[in-house]
Amino acid sequence: MTVAEPDCISRFREFVRIKTVHPNPDYEASKQYLISQAKDIGLTYQVVECVKGKPIVILGLEGSDPSLQSIMLGSHIDVVPVFEVSFINIFKHIKLVEFWTYPPFAAERVPTEDGDFKIYGRGSQDMKCTSCMHLEALRKIVNSGTKLKRTVYAVLAPDEEIGGYDGVNLLVDTFEFKNLNVGFDLDEGMLAADERYSVSYSERINGQVRFTAHGNTGHGSQFIEGTAIEKLLPVINALMDRREIEKKKLAALNDGKTNLRSGESIAINLTQLGGGKQANVVPATFSAVFDIRITPLIDSNEFKNWIIELAHSYGVEYEFLHPKENKYISTLDRSNPFVDAFFASLAERNIIPIPIICPATSDCRHVRRTGIPVYGFVPIKNHQMLAHDHDEYVLESEFLNGIDIYVDVIIGLASV
């Protein structure tokens, strides 16, 4: 027996096939696709281009009282690069290793043993499934004839995977965005590894820092004093010691199986080391870059000051790579009627999402900066997390179920 493919799955697969992959995402094809969806569903649409060639597509379902604050469904349309193959040299035998079982932009629909299907493709999880579930939920609402009180906008943005600086970051300051009069934003969330859905209300702050040390140079056969490396090493060691402390803290918080509480710790990784030109010359300059993600639960300035003092005490220069990044926390207080409606509509389905801090940054922070409360939520559970990984896929049953959950949540929020 062959199971017919639902139309919404065909539309999702079509969207996954559009190569919005960095470094040269096809935003034009994506824009055209979204406009065709708007026309097909019966939504309004507008395109805002804060930076030429980087369109933000806004689809709208007008409510019966457009003067009320609207509901935003935020998502990004870009995806990270793929590594399809690699050549490994084993004792002079060149071996071809393929990382993807199915081509990453073919959106193959592959049956599983238990009668489900997997839709493979880069972006299937991060986050074209969410974009498409948003649109399918709006389609269902339109088709059912339900008239919403508040206007709902699906905002589909470029460049989130490279910081969102030319996308949502600029959008939120435009006249067009202010005109949307957004009161609540449902945005990028984390897939659930087990039965427990999550809702993120804040995210870690990017504290990436570059240390640069300068010192005496000379012949590598001598004991040169005051070298760049001598200055830099204690700084590196102090951060690696702090990394161990944070790792233990997180291990004590987590239940071992999921990553739900990682946003409550400070992640520290040495990601780049640079310097030295030749083996027999002591380098005059050496640098180290750390990727640091600071939990918003601590005073981030206090932590940054610790880094500054550390650099000063060893005579090392420091540069925070994203000095403007700040912390924003959206309220979980149910006296906010939108927050209450969000949780209430999920409770009808016996869903109680766990409030979490997103371990990485997303476009949510740009919207939060304006004071709009933003919540990261995606109704997909019991799923292997493969964002940015090889063989990224989404389960069809979870995608279909997620649409219905979104329908309830959107109706709940738009009825406030």
Q: Which residues bind Zn ion (CB under 5 A)?
A: 126-127
Active-site residue, 49 included:
no
Tell me if 37 sits within 8 A of 135, measured CB to CB: yes
Q: Which two tokens stand for residue 295?
A: 């939990």
390 is annotated as contributing to ligand binding: no
Q: Closer CB to Zn ion, residue 136 or residue 187? A: 187
Q: Closer CB to Zn ion, residue 150 or residue 381? A: 381
Which of 381, 403, 358 has the alpha carbon at shortest distance from 160?
Answer: 358
Amino acid at 108: E
Closest-by-Cβ residue to Zn ion is 126
396 is annotated as contributing to ligand binding: no
The set of residues, in sequence order, having a beta carbon less than 8 Å from that of 93 and lying 6+ positions away, is none
Of the listed 98, 116, 136, 160, which one is catalytic?
A: 160
76 is annotated as contributing to ligand binding: yes
- Give the nearest distance from C-beta 363 to Zn ion in angstroms: 8
Tell me if 8 sits within 8 A of 403, measured CB to CB: yes
Q: Which two tokens stand for residue 8?
A: 């919404």
CA distances from 332 to 1, 199, 295, 311 (A): 47, 10, 17, 38
In DSSP notation, 97-124 reads EE--SS-TTS--EEE-TTS-EEEESTTI
Of the listed 14, 26, 49, 78, which one is catalytic?
A: 78
Q: Closer CB to Zn ion, residue 79 or residue 407? A: 79
Return the number of other C-beta atoms located less than 10 Å from residue 40's C-beta: 11
Tell me if 228 sits within 8 A of 283, measured CB to CB: yes
Active-site residue, 78 included:
yes
- Give the nearest distance from C-beta 120 to Zn ion in angstroms: 17
219 is annotated as contributing to ligand binding: no
SS3 label, residue 60 = strand
Q: Closer CB to Zn ion, residue 172 or residue 307? A: 172
How many Å is the maximal CA-CA distance in the chain?
A: 82
126 is annotated as contributing to ligand binding: yes
CA dihedral 39, 43, 46, 51 (to 10 degrees): -90
Q: Closer CB to Zn ion, residue 126 or residue 396? A: 126
Please enumerate, by residue number, every residue annotated as part of a binding site. 76, 126, 161, 188, 388
Please enumerate, by residue number, every residue annotated as part of a binding site for Zn(2+). 76, 126, 161, 188, 388
* Residues known to be catalytic: 78, 160
